[in-house]
Structure 1
Amino acid sequence: MFIRSERLFLRPAWPEDWAELHVAIDDADVVRNLARAPWPYKAEDAHWFVNRPQDAHHPDFLITLPGAEGARIIGCAGIAPGEQGAVELGYWIARSHWGRGFATEAARAVLSVARSLGQDRIEASHFLDNPASGRVLRKLGFTPTGEHRPRRSAGRGAVVTSVVYEIRLGTATGGDGGDGGAGGSEGEPMRRAA
């Protein structure tokens, strides 16, 4: 499955993407905001991510930015099975592309796919010390549930408190604007890379 948004092209990961993916995510400030990506992020983690089977009901995508020299990988976004039967949105953007609205744009595109797959309620979360991700979620139309959950961060090697949000796709009215970088809650298919 492929998605074209205003500035971005979202596509599945391919085995030959491992090195470029590794360069994009190999940043402690990105990985610390993800639940399942390990730190340090190794080449074998990137190999694992690009070679794992895709889940047609819970797709994830490499976020690429088309340009004169081709489409460069700048992040990842997708939906995944979450806790207690929920479907979760997760995303990250390489630090060199923070603050340009790419997380919001990519996540909005993923939510449109989730809606077309029949998903109604989507959850997302961010660690308390990553409020920029909460701003992205609110721009997308997510609302806080009022719940704070302990969540394991593989990159930090610790359990960290996360703020939980939800959206009902039948009534979503996401806004637009910038983003603050990496974030979102990470489900199993996004483990280790996104």
Structure 2
Amino acid sequence: MCVIDSSPIIETRRIVLRAPAMDDVQSLVALGGDSDIARMTTRMPWPYGRTDAEDFVGRCQAQDRRRDNTFAIELEDEGVIGVLGLFTPPSGHLEIGYWVGKPFWGRGLATEACQGALDWAKREWRKKLVVAGHFADNPASGQVLIKAGFLYTGVVEMKPSVARGEPAATRMMVWLA
């Protein structure tokens, strides 16, 4: 299922996680262009336009896939509905982050994507620990992570939010294989 030199493809019951491609730019802009999406992420600017999405896809294509993988979340019959990333900070453990477009909220798709990515990281990368965080004003993201098997650490960190233009209190969580 995984070849180190190429982009992995992860299939779950309803979705496919695969590398973002330039063909996804329109969907990424349509969904990620919502300020409610961008402001709940650390790295997305707002407004989020075509150039931002093209730059994002280019960075994803240049990743060292032994350390980092970013996936387009693709729903059968719908196309791309969001993004999920596994990345290794310079100092620290593997971290997961994601966003799903508003029309797809409340259907368990973010949880399913996280669970698929975690299973893959455990199996292919032999990871036993993954960290995540959600902005304190986004409790729904905390529920997604809890359902995916994460636990709160009790730590709150100030993390950047490009769209907000300032750091936001972030509730840190951990997943143990």
TM-score of the aligned structures, taking structure 2 as reference length: 0.89
Q: Which residue of 2 aligns with 1:82?
A: 89
The aligned amino acid for 1:133 is S
**Length, aligned pairs only:** 166
2:66 corresponds to 1:59:
no
1:188 matched to which residue of 2? none
Task: Name the residue aligned to 2:158.
Answer: 150
Partner of 1:31: 38
2:9 is the counterpart of 1:2: yes
Q: CA deviation at 1:16?
A: 2.4
Which residue matches 1:42?
49
Q: Which amino acid aligns with 1:54?
A: Q
Q: Within 5 A, what are the aligned runs for 1:157-168? A: 157-168=165-176
1:78 to partner: Cα distance: 2.1
For 2:22, which of 15, 20, 35 is the aligned residue? Answer: 15
Specify which structure has the bigger relative contact order, considering alpha-carbon pairs within 8 angstroms and separated by 6 or more residues.
Answer: 1
- Alpha-carbon shift at residue 85 of structure 1 (Å): 1.8
Secondary structure of 1:24 counterpart: helix
Q: Tell me the alpha carbon deviations over residues 40-90 of structure 1, each in whole angstroms, 9 at most, x when there is no partner.
A: 1121110011122133122111001111xxx51100112112363221110
CA distance in structure 1 between the partners assigned to 2:63 and 2:23 by the alignment: 16
% same residue: 37
Letter in 1 for 2:159: R
CA contact 2:27–2:81 (8 Å) conserved in 1: no
CA RMSD of aligned residues (A): 1.2
Deviations 1:155-189 (A, max 9, x none): 100111000000112xxxxxxxxxxxxxxxxxxxx
Q: Which moved further from structure 2: 39-48 or 112-121?
A: 112-121
Structure 1: unaligned runs, 5 residues or longer: 170-194
- Which deviations, in whole Å up to 9, do the C-alpha atoms of 1:5-55 show, x marking residues without a partner? 101111101122212221121100111110111111121110011122133
**Contact 1:78 1:107 (C-alpha < 8 Å) held by counterparts:** no
Instruction: Give unpaired runs (5+ residues) of structure 2.
Output: 1-7
Q: CA deviation at 1:135?
A: 0.7
Moved over 2 A (4+): none
Alignment of 1:128-139 (within 5 A): 128-139=136-147
Q: CA–CA distance in 2 between the matches of 1:50 and 1:17?
A: 8
TM-score normalised according to structure 1 size: 0.82
- Corresponding residue for 2:4? none
CA distance in 2, matches of 1:153, 1:86: 20
Is the Cα–Cα contact under 8 Å of residues 24 and 73 in structure 1 kept in the other structure? no
- Residue 99 of structure 1 is aligned with which of 95, 98, 106? 106
**Amino acid of the residue matched to residue 93 of structure 1?**
V
User: What is the deviation of 1:109?
Assistant: 0.6
